[in-house]
Structure 1
């Protein structure tokens, strides 16, 4: 294995649940890659809604006990947050053949977290791919979280020319990616967001915008008019929006409470409508497709603000407002 000789690294660490102030920069041991792993020097990551939830332990209704084993009960199970990273391969295990030190890569660690640090490891056959050459590290990090989630859900349904897609929460990291990918597949996208974000989502491909501050997109009345509803907020369960979906359509619950999850698991098809809250698989193949979409310009980064690692608490504070558009990027290197 190629080694760095570096023993410690800087990382954003939290030792307890709480507000943004519980996150601080500290020294941690550099992880040692296994025989089949890469050690990646992280240049950029993002602070996502997942980081917010793990830090605050504020999860959708009914999921406190369910997610406890994954995030911790009294203390955070993952003291270093960050689900995704863009960086450079620093070292490789002796069985690694597809990557070499110096390669620019993007990494999705997902629920293992750990990317708000100067170094992370990832299996060679895990969710890692070469970084799009035309994107900076910050831009590459910005497309990862939302693009990864959007692909996993949109791959479950047939979206093409003539498909009517509604995206609730269209201006967030996931929503902006869903709008772009659905529009690129030929769908007519209706974006639900606040009026201040209307121009943004239209520029990403939305054909119609509903300003939720003035109009309830799920108000009673009217015929089913959408083939796919993508729920990225957590306030549109099947009971509220099911009548808006045409027979044979789908409700994709990117965010759901316990009742929605149980309903999706026990009744995968209700009145001919697919209800899914888990998304599909991604893997290395999905990561390669994701980076190819970004390389081709079919998925472009939407960056709201960028912070340095030393300002990680401020990044969390801004995400806590619930008003971010696209991604909040953290520069690590």
Structure 2
């Protein structure tokens, strides 16, 4: 059993690298008492950076790694260098049981390849899926998976994603029976590919702590009518990037509207509390931290452009998943599903 209080952090990953990662770790420590950190990367640089964060001194250890995975590195190249890189060493610390989870803002493809090789898949899971919560108009966010780990999926993969996504949602949203839907081009039963329709048929009969609600179209993603939305990685990644782009579009449009005249500037001052609430709700840093579900361990991908607050959010999510024993819960659900199917 991994030590739940320790989180391995790839301190060198992300667009801004060490500065933002350490600031994020420091914020996570202030938000979550009891967390301790294995900071992986260049030992000299990390030690120098820690001077600006005295609250981490007694709660962290430095694990040296001489190399860093670049954003343009191919997964095959990254695998050959895994044991020398900050990302690879962080994941290996989970494998060895020294950390409960690994967090990195680095190359997504390399991270998936390294995690899959080092931690292996849970029994009964064919492929890992990248899952993350996205904002909605409902009482809670919605978990969407896969967000890009698998461009093509068959019905079996989609069913496994649904099982894993429901277990994830039960933890982060504290739900007994999450509402699960399949992303499709229409809500009618005859719509979609053979794979999607076959997965739907299986999920309708599944005896699991979830409520399968059928198909959902892309324009309903943010309505709050579902807790988990399942799709292949190709569609999921497009949906994610579209949602992020729409959020930026709305924010930029409001900014332009509120600065167009003296009257609009006055209107902004009056409506500022509402616009601040909107900005906070749409800020991706408040929803940061995608997890690779299906692995024999917890690995969380922070957005490469995340702020320190976003990194802290990802670390907090990782700690929560470890404490809730996500890996065991997915394995238990899958075991129950397979028994019922047999």
TM-score tier (shorter)? under 0.3
TM-score (structure 1 length as normaliser): 0.24
Higher helix share: 2
Higher strand share: 1
TM-score (structure 2 length as normaliser): 0.24
